[in-house]
Amino acid sequence: MTRTYRIGQIVPSSNTTMETEVPAMLQAHSVLRPEDRFTFHSARMRMKTVQKDELAAMDAESDRCALELSDARVDVLGYACLVAIMAMGNGYHRVSQARLTERTAGNGASAPVITSAGALVEALKVMGAKKIALVAPYMIPLTQLVMDYIAAEGFEIVDWRALEIPDNLEVGRHDPAKLPGIVADMNVADADVIVLSACVQMPSLAAISQVEAQTGKPVLTASVATVYAILKSLNLDPVVPGAGALLSGAYPYAKA
């Protein structure tokens, strides 16, 4: 039986990637599972420069966005900014998720709430990763905050690159074709998983298969982890062609 699911995303106002990569992956899922159809709905939080104070101000707008999306009775709501969550302190994705769930419930429109930050952490656990290599577009201080957050969740980062792009629009314009070369200069021998983009704004989907072939390692991105969490929250098969190991079908879950 065909069903159409409404996918809600809370995105930074300058984000241009999650409204392209997430729909692309879910539409690719529909090719394999034609009974699963999706529509896409967004609410925006103001943010132009990826700096800690601007991220905190942006995060304060997430409650309004959750309410707006709950007015549309979305089936799942995703907070699509990893660094905004991780910059708020270790474990904050759980705080954010609980608060936004309360907001939607208070509007009579309860729906699963996920965050890209929490999705990345959970995906690494699902994949059994202990050691990871990581690429991020942020300035070094913010990249360090992200790495500290991930380390606090129990993972070791064996190598990393910060591309130091402060303007969020420029992050969205970063050419994914450059990512294989960036990874080629990293030491990933001991990594269980390569996080090719620890950012939902830096495009990476087009490079995942190439980097997996190049390194022989599973490759994960923040957007891929988000799609896995979306599919799981909807009790749908976590399969998307061309989106790397996590969405290959190798990591099923017990359906409700």
What is the tens place of the pLDDT at every residue in 2-51?
999 999 999 888 888 999 999 999 999 999 999 999 999 999 988 666 66
Q: Does residue 83 have a pLDDT over 90?
A: no
Please compute, for residue 226, the number of CA atoms within 13 A of its CA located in the half-sphere on the CB side.
Answer: 35
Which residue of the set 188, 199, 211, 220 is catalytic? 199
> What is the predicted pLDDT for the residue at 49?
61
Higher pLDDT, 6 or 82: 6
Q: Does residue 70 have a pLDDT over 90?
A: yes
Any catalytic annotation for residue 65? no
pTM of the full structure: 0.95
DSSP string, 179-230: HHHHHHTS--TT-SEEEEESSSSS--GGGHHHHHHHHSS-EEEHHHHHHHHH
> What is the predicted pLDDT for the residue at 28?
98
Helix extents (H) in the chain:
18-32, 52-59, 62-71, 82-86, 92-106, 116-126, 140-152, 168-172, 179-184, 208-215, 222-233
C-alpha distances (whole Å) from 179 to each of 124, 203, 206, 212, 244 are: 20, 10, 10, 12, 15
Q: Do residues 111 and 76 make contact, with C-beta atoms less than 8 angstroms apart?
A: yes
> What is the predicted pLDDT for the residue at 48?
64
- The single-letter DSSP state of residue 246 is G
Q: Does residue 159 have a pLDDT over 90?
A: yes
Q: Do residues 25 and 78 make contact, with C-beta atoms less than 8 angstroms apart?
A: no
Which residue of the set 81, 87, 195, 231 is catalytic? 81
Instruction: Give backbone dihedrals phi and psi of 146, rounded to 5 degrees, phi first.
Output: -65, -45
Q: Residue ranges of the domains in the chain?
A: 3-116+223-247, 119-221
CATH fit for domain 3-116+223-247, picks 3.40.50.2300, 2.40.50.140, 3.40.190.10, 3.40.50.12500: 3.40.50.12500
**Sorting pLDDT into bands at 50, 70 and 90, what band is 104?**
very high
State the chain's mean pLDDT as an integer: 93
Q: Does residue 221 have a pLDDT over 80?
A: yes
Which helix (H) or strand (E) segment holds residue 132: the answer is: strand 131-136
Domains 3-116+223-247 and 119-221 share a fold: yes
Question: How far is it, in rounded angstroms, from Cα 78 to Cα 1?
Answer: 25
Per-residue pLDDT, averaged over 194-217, amounts to 96
Q: CB 241: neighbour CB atoms within 10 A?
A: 13
Q: Do residues 104 and 111 make contact, with C-beta atoms less than 8 angstroms apart?
A: yes
Q: Which residues contact 178 (CB under 8 A, 6 or more apart)?
A: none
| CATH 3.40.50.12500 applies to domain 119-221 | yes
> What is the predicted pLDDT for the residue at 52?
64
